[in-house]
Structure formats: C-alpha cells, structure tokens
Amino acid sequence: MPDYNTISTEQWQILLPADWAQKPQTDGPASFYFEASDGTKGAYISVFTRTDPNSSALADLAAWRETEIRNLHAMIDHHWEILEEWQHDEGDTAISASDCLERTNHYRIVCLRMTQFPWLVRVSLHDYDCTDYETSKQAFLPLIDSFAPVFT
C-alpha cells in the first residue's frame, strides 16, 4: 500500500502518492503540478474564482467540462475516448469528472472538478504511460475517492 500526502486548502483536499513531487508551474499563482518520481504520472491542480453567485454549481462545472473535452479533441494526432463521466451535488458543493483515454498513445487523463461558490478547483490526473487501463484505474482510485470538500 503506497503512502499518500494530503494536498489541501481550507475548502478542498486530495491525496497524492508520497513519491509525487511538486514541479515548477507557470500557469499562474493558483496552479500546481505534481509528478511521480518515475515521470509516468502527474497531477495538475488549478483554483479559480467564480464571479456569478446566481450561476448553478453544476452549470459551471458543465461549462468547464465542455472546454476540457474540446481541448482534448483539438490535440493533433490524438483520438480521445470519454470512457466514463459522473457528477453529483453535495449540498452547496458540486463535483464532476471525466475519464478520458487515448489508446494509441497510451495516455489517460481523469478530469476532476469541484465547486462551491466562490471557488472552483480542477484536478487533472495524467497517466502518460497507460498501457493497462485497469492498472491505471486502480492507481488513480484512491486519489479520485479522496477528492472532497473540507468541512469545518
């Protein structure tokens, strides 16, 4: 059983394997990248501020999902499959996810999204060497299951 570190703020948390190190990220002050010691897996974490208190949480997550999926399909020489998607509301918090696989290049991305006004967090889990989907699913399952709001 691997060891995990908790990555969190006052609003949300996720577990990442202990051998994943934070790497320099230039996408902005609220963006972070963690990578496995062997370079085969990584996680991008970005935090955004929602500005419209009247917009529903699920609608905002759906808009992010559309952008993410459009960006995947725009990648040259990649043919992405959306294998699974889910979403749910937990009171004021909404969570959604898309499990995406590019079989030819052995590349898997799980896009996780969570929001509770005024924040929205996106976590993209990358398996850069996904030669066995079931093994990748088992590796990412504890991370996906740990992605949750922090209740104070």
pTM of the model: 0.93
Q: What is the mean pLDDT of residues 94-116?
A: 96
* For the chain, percent of residues with pLDDT exceeding 70: 95
- Gap between the Cα atoms of 102 and 81, Å rounded: 6
Q: What is the DSSP string of 119-137?
A: EEEEEEEEETT-S-HHHHH
| Residue 136 predicted with pLDDT over 70 | yes
Render pLDDT for 58-100 as a digit per residue (tens, 0 to 9): 999 999 999 999 999 999 999 999 999 999 987 788 999 999 9
Q: What is the mean pLDDT of residues 35-46?
A: 96
Residues sharing a CB contact under 8 Å with residue 50, sequence separation 6 or more, in sequence order:
60, 115, 117, 118, 119, 120
Please say whether the beta carbons of 44 and 31 come within 8 A: yes
The three-class DSSP label of residue 94 is strand
| Residue 1 predicted with pLDDT over 60 | no
19-26 — which CB contacts under 8 Å span 24+ positions? Answer: none
150 band by pLDDT with thresholds 50, 70 and 90:
confident
Domains and CATH numbers, the chain: 4-149 (3.40.1000.10)
